[in-house]
Amino acid sequence: MDRPFAAAHRPPRRPWAWAGWFAASQLLVAALWWRYGWAIGLAALLPSHAAMFWGTLWPRSRLFGPVLSRLATAERAVWLTIDDGPSRDTQAMLDLLDAHRAKATFFVVAERAERHAGLLREIVRRGHEVGNHSHSHPSARFWALGPRAMAREIGEAQRRLAALLPQPPRWFRAVVGMANPFTAAPLRRHGLSRVAWSARGFDAVEADPDKVVARIERDLAPGAIVLMHEGSGHGRNVEAMRRLLARLDELGYRCALPEARPGDA
């Protein structure tokens, strides 16, 4: 299979490195509070906690570990990623990808994959890739999971997907893209590399396919990681994918899978 770019497969090497600098920052805050009073102490406290929130809520943040958001290539090629399946849309998505000779990585939810194991096998049979997108997809609270719950969401998904696939997933996408400080340890344990994106159309909530494609087109560039979804409540993900693939053809872009290569965190 022709793969125009390589992606550094980088499971976190030091998943608890953040804890050291955070502890040091809080000792500094305590010292300032004791020496200069609450006004200075509070002024020092807020930035340290703001950094933790930013690291969690910003999908491309590398504060807690490495994350891929774009790939290096001179070719007009993108990495198309599809979240939240398998679903009622999967078969139609696969047919569209075949029609455009496009390849994609499906970031699947393990509970849904077990219910639709035939679709999971079909994804692989047609030459696409499967990534880990959590066990149960707790979209409202994934960002706030503690270490045990986070380990279960990632580890249980990896175990169940590995039992259904010829090879276990190597890529992970955080639910809603938000990875808190406790995400890195299970990624390291299971040899997973986190993937974000550089182009998205908000198709999980936007029902107008033209708006979805227009937003993605603004951020298109060689090596872009494109985020799409399937199975959304508005029911128009397949139509949005049809418009996107047609537009990519018009612009001379192709969708290909990256070749993983070893990398250092």
DSSP string for residues in 201-258: --TTT---HHHHHHHHHHT--TTBEEEEESS-TTS-HHHHHHHHHHHHHHHT-EE-PP
154: domain CATH number is 3.20.20.370
What values do phi and psi take at 74, rounded to 5?
Answer: -95, -10
Residue 18 maps to a domain: no
Residue 138 maps to a domain: yes
d(CA 145, CA 69): 23
Task: Answer whether 0.85 is exceeded by the pTM.
Answer: yes
- For residue 197, what are its two tokens? 């994106």
Amino acid at 107: F
d(CA 97, CA 120): 15
Residue 1 maps to a domain: no
Helix axes 90-99, 117-125, angle to 10 degrees: 10
The residues annotated as belonging to the active site are 83, 229
Residue 51 maps to a domain: no
Residue 179 maps to a domain: yes
Q: Give the pLDDT mean for 198-212.
A: 98
Number of domains composing the chain: 1
Residue 196 maps to a domain: yes
Per-residue pLDDT of 147-201, as tens digits, reads: 999 999 999 999 999 999 999 999 999 999 999 999 999 999 999 999 999 999 9
For residue 180, what are the domain limits?
A: 65-262
The gap from C-alpha 57 to its chain's centroid, in whole angstroms, comes to: 13
Helix (H) or strand (E) holding 261: strand 259-262
Evaluate if residue 4 carries a pLDDT over 80.
yes
Residue 9 maps to a domain: no
Per-residue pLDDT of 128-148, as tens digits, reads: 999 999 999 999 999 999 999
